[in-house]
Amino acid sequence: MDTESTYSGYSYYSGRSRGSHRHGERSRDRHKSRGKDSRSEKSVTITTPPAEPLLGDSAVRGEQVQDDNWGETTTAITGTSEHSLSQEDIVRITKDLEDSVGLDCRRYFTLTLAVVLGLLVFLTPLAFLALPHLLWPEKLQSCGTACEGLFISVAFKLLILLLAVWALFFRPPRAGLPRVFVFRALLAVLVLLFVVSYWLFYGVRILDSQDENYQGIVQYAVSLVDALLFIHYLAIVLLELRQLQPCFSVCVARSTDGEMRHYNLGRLSIQRAALAILERYYCDFPVHNPALLSASKSRAAKHLAGLKVYNVDGEFPAAPAEGPGNNAPAAGLAHSQSRAMIAAAARRRDTSHNELYYEEAEHERRVRKRKARLVVAVEEAFTHIKRMQEEEQKKAPGDVMDPREAAQAIFPSMARALQKYLRTTKQQHCHSMESIQQHLAFCITNNMTPKAFLECYLTSGPTLQYSRDHWLARQWTLVSEVSVTSGLKDGSTFLLRCADFSLVVTTKRIPYIQMSEEYIDPKSHKFVLRLQSETSV
């Protein structure tokens, strides 16, 4: 007797084994789509359209993966606007605007403070030299040759200090940090206290007494400039040289796909280390591709879907009356059902890895097939370009086609193969039609080979290689259990979080290396080979 007749008409099987199950799945999908339409009228996420994507609406980040026949199998749902705004979106946009305004205000305030302090530093020595001539010129002693030589010394030292301060401090900001840079703030306070102390001494000992020794006043100004130069040297040591020696090895892992890199850093604070890591992230890490992640999630959800129970005979059997004699059949039925469920789950677990294996193998085969077609199409297009160049050499100078026109002329011959390859490898959101044509024109201008043109599409490159929409003005949040102004320590862990993923950073101290020397005497390698001569008997 088979299983279905044994267990009172109940059937235990996995998702794709029966037609009635597929019918139920389709009815539930229609119910979900109707519910999704009704909810989308209340809250719809605003999306910024990319710069003319190559694949139209299929290149939406985070969407469920589509097959190659998306034009024949896609169902269009109308009735809602894609550019609607909900109350949550308005609140989020308002908060982003307030944060950006706060960052701009803080940046301009810091710049204004630095400019004011710089003017105070550079005008103070000049004021020391000019005030005696303005307040008591008739009492000043004449300035001799040595005094005039000090004027030249002050002028050149101020020029050197001006160039040095401009090179070290007035550089374009690389990022907006959450806290103040401690060493830079300490140096600013030190310079301010230093200049104020010189002004107090100048006011008490020179202005009040109206000192007549002008050469001494000039030497006092020279000493101020010398001290400022030494402070600038201290700034170079603290801000630039101190962090050059590697002291820590940091491991940076992306939370979504597990991509990992290792870097050596010096003695930096947590926020400065985070800035150094982000600068290297944009150049070293491959671009984040959420389409690949959504494909793996859908595959996992399909393999981990639970087993379902259906009554193929119609009504469920009526519950037996309560009594000591009626509990035994019910218990036996429940036990048989549980055993059948366990057996079906075991069979499905044993075959799920086979399904995954063949699915990945099929995907790799399709990728190789699409790649071969793309390579052939691009080589034929570049061969056509060479023929066009040979023909254009025979034409008049006014009839020669520029690289932009040549790229637009040969792009349709390779567009379909490139489109299918990008869809198969889930890179359609990374390349727009305009960017592909610009890259093709660049390759034609610099006489590059088809392999050089295809390299950026066959291999996933760093984030900066792609359009500015993938990395421009991306805001990062630094999450740390300790203050971000404290230095790195052994075992420190912090997160760099953005909208799509997080970078998990763990710190390990580079160990102290003890080396010893072992001397080998050069004479110990020498040896003597003694041969006994044989004499004839």
Q: How many helices (H) and strands (E) does the chain have?
A: 13, 7
CA-based end-to-end distance of the chain? 104
63 or 239: whose pLDDT is higher? 239
Burial category of 159 from C-beta neighbours within 10 Å (exposed 0-12, middle 13-18, buried 19 and up):
exposed
pLDDT at 238 over 60: yes
Buried b (16+ CB within 10 A) or exposed e, 347-362: ebeeeeeeeeeeeeee
Q: Describe the strand order of the beta sheet including 260-265 as a list of residue ranges.
A: 260-265, 248-254, 502-509, 493-497, 477-480
DSSP letter for each residue of 249-269: EEEEEETTT--EEEEEE-S-B
* Per-residue pLDDT, 391: 74
337 or 313: whose pLDDT is higher? 337
Three-class SS of 80-98: CCCCCCCHHHHHHHHHHHH
pLDDT (tens digit per residue) in 269-281:
999 999 999 999 9
* Per-residue pLDDT, 179: 86
Looking at residues 262-267, what average pLDDT do you find?
94
* Per-residue pLDDT, 28: 47
Which of 48-52, 312-316, 408-412 comes out lowest in average pLDDT? Answer: 48-52
Q: In the structure, what pLDDT confidence band is assigned to residue 461 with cuts at 50, 70 and 90?
A: confident
Residues in the chain: 537
* Per-residue pLDDT, 431: 84
The H or E element that residue 347 is part of is helix 327-392
pLDDT at 254 over 90: yes
Distance separating alpha carbons of residues 190 and 202, to the nearest angstrom: 18
Which of 69-73, 86-90, 236-240, 527-531 comes out lowest in average pLDDT? Answer: 69-73
Q: In the structure, what pLDDT confidence band is assigned to residue 473 with cuts at 50, 70 and 90?
A: low
Q: How far does Cα 498 stand from its chain's mean position?
A: 9
Strands 260-265 and 308-311, sheet pairing? unpaired
Closest Cα partner for 215 from 153, 136, 147, 140? 147
The answer to whether 403 and 444 are in contact (CB under 8 A) is yes
pLDDT at 315 over 90: no
Which of 55-64, 200-209, 213-222, 258-267 comes out lowest in average pLDDT? Answer: 55-64
* Contacting residues for 234 by C-beta, under 8 A, at least 6 apart: 187
Q: In the structure, what pLDDT confidence band is assigned to residue 120 with cuts at 50, 70 and 90?
A: very high
Looking at residues 346-350, what average pLDDT do you find?
60
Q: In the structure, what pLDDT confidence band is assigned to residue 294 with cuts at 50, 70 and 90?
A: low
Looking at residues 490-512, what average pLDDT do you find?
92
The answer to whether 21 and 389 are in contact (CB under 8 A) is no
Looking at residues 311-316, what average pLDDT do you find?
47
Which of 10-24, 216-230, 350-364 comes out lowest in average pLDDT? Answer: 10-24
390 or 103: whose pLDDT is higher? 390
**Percentage, residues of the chain above pLDDT 90:** 29
* Per-residue pLDDT, 311: 47
Kindly report the average pLDDT of the chain as a whole number: 74
pLDDT at 197 over 90: yes
Looking at residues 4-25, what average pLDDT do you find?
39
Alpha helix (H) residue ranges in 77-213: 87-135, 145-168, 182-202
* Per-residue pLDDT, 491: 92
* Per-residue pLDDT, 207: 87
DSSP letter for each residue of 468-506: GGGTTT---EEEESS-TTSBP-TT-EEEEE-SS-EEEEE
Burial category of 47 from C-beta neighbours within 10 Å (exposed 0-12, middle 13-18, buried 19 and up):
exposed
The answer to whether 489 and 507 are in contact (CB under 8 A) is yes
Give the E-state strand segments of 418-481 in sequence order: 477-480
Closest Cα partner for 439 from 417, 410, 463? 410
Distance separating alpha carbons of residues 262 and 129, to the nearest angstrom: 55
Q: How far does Cα 338 stand from its chain's mean position?
A: 49
Burial category of 373 from C-beta neighbours within 10 Å (exposed 0-12, middle 13-18, buried 19 and up):
middle
Distance separating alpha carbons of residues 89 and 98, to the nearest angstrom: 14
* Per-residue pLDDT, 162: 93
pLDDT at 348 over 90: no
Sign of CA dihedral 137, 139, 140, 141: positive
Which of 7-21, 353-367, 469-483 comes out lowest in average pLDDT? Answer: 7-21
Name the 3-class secondary structure at 508: strand
pLDDT at 10 over 50: no
Q: In the structure, what pLDDT confidence band is assigned to residue 506 with cuts at 50, 70 and 90?
A: very high
Looking at residues 166-187, what average pLDDT do you find?
86
Q: What is the DSSP letter of 521?
A: -
The answer to whether 302 and 296 are in contact (CB under 8 A) is no
Q: What is the DSSP letter of 239?
A: I
| Residue 485 φ then ψ, to 5° | -85, -10
Q: In the structure, what pLDDT confidence band is assigned to residue 6 with cuts at 50, 70 and 90?
A: very low
Looking at residues 248-268, what average pLDDT do you find?
93
* Per-residue pLDDT, 251: 96
| Residue 536 φ then ψ, to 5° | -75, 140
Name the 3-class secondary structure at 228: helix
Q: In the structure, what pLDDT confidence band is assigned to residue 344 with cuts at 50, 70 and 90?
A: low
Burial category of 496 from C-beta neighbours within 10 Å (exposed 0-12, middle 13-18, buried 19 and up):
buried
Looking at residues 73-77, what average pLDDT do you find?
37
* Contacting residues for 15 by C-beta, under 8 A, at least 6 apart: 21, 25, 302, 305, 308
How many alpha carbons lie under 13 Å from residue 473 in its C-beta half-sphere?
Answer: 6
Angle at which helix 433-445 crosses helix 403-424, to 10 degrees, equals 130
* Per-residue pLDDT, 138: 82
Looking at residues 472-494, what average pLDDT do you find?
87
* Per-residue pLDDT, 308: 54
* Per-residue pLDDT, 302: 57
27 or 455: whose pLDDT is higher? 455
* Per-residue pLDDT, 322: 47
Distance separating alpha carbons of residues 157 and 339, to the nearest angstrom: 91
pLDDT at 331 over 90: no
Q: How far does Cα 460 stand from its chain's mean position?
A: 14
Looking at residues 454-470, what average pLDDT do you find?
79
**Percentage, residues of the chain above pLDDT 70:** 65
Q: Which two tokens stand for residue 38?
A: 């009704």
